[in-house]
Amino acid sequence: MCGIFSKKGASGFSLWSTTEQVIEGINGTGLTGLVTGGSSGIGVKTCRVLTLCGVHVVMAIRNTAVGESVKEMILEEIPGAKIDVKEFDLNSLEFVRKFGPDYFLLAFH
């Protein structure tokens, strides 16, 4: 591979770097990450990678059944992962108001 796509940037990573390479040496123990859209696509990958770093992941999603399925998939690969699924709908101000206190309680425990 040649050209701009194989060239490493200032970060030391290229287009072909894996997420595992990017997070190598990062310790997120004690941190809580809130991930919306964690039930599909890049959201699933984000949840997985954050848990690999030791981050406590809170998946804020509308469909908790799908979220639980993703959680189980991650726990099969990373048994010690700290991951919670919370019902959340950005289209509903009521959900946003109810979610806030729960999230902050999780973040500071």
| % of residues, the chain, pLDDT over 70 | 82
Query: Does the pLDDT of residue 54 top 70, yes or no?
Result: yes
Q: Listing from the earlier edge strand, what are the strands of the sheet with 56-61?
A: 32-36, 56-61, 83-87
Ordered by start, the domain boundaries in the chain are 28-107
Cβ(83)–Cβ(59) under 8 Å? yes
Give per-residue pLDDT as tens, 69-98: 999 999 999 999 999 998 887 777 777 677
Query: Does the pLDDT of residue 49 top 80, yes or no?
Result: yes
Question: Which CATH number is 28-107 given?
Answer: 3.40.50.720
Give per-residue pLDDT as tens, 27-39: 999 998 889 888 8
pLDDT reported for residue 104:
52
Query: Does the pLDDT of residue 21 top 90, yes or no?
Result: no
Cβ(70)–Cβ(59) under 8 Å? yes
Report how far apart, in Å, the C-alpha atoms of 9 and of each of 14, 29, 79, 82, 109 are. 6, 28, 34, 32, 38
53, exposed or middle or buried, with CB in 10 Å at 0-12, 13-18, 19+? middle
Helices (H), 1-109: 19-23, 41-52, 64-77, 93-107
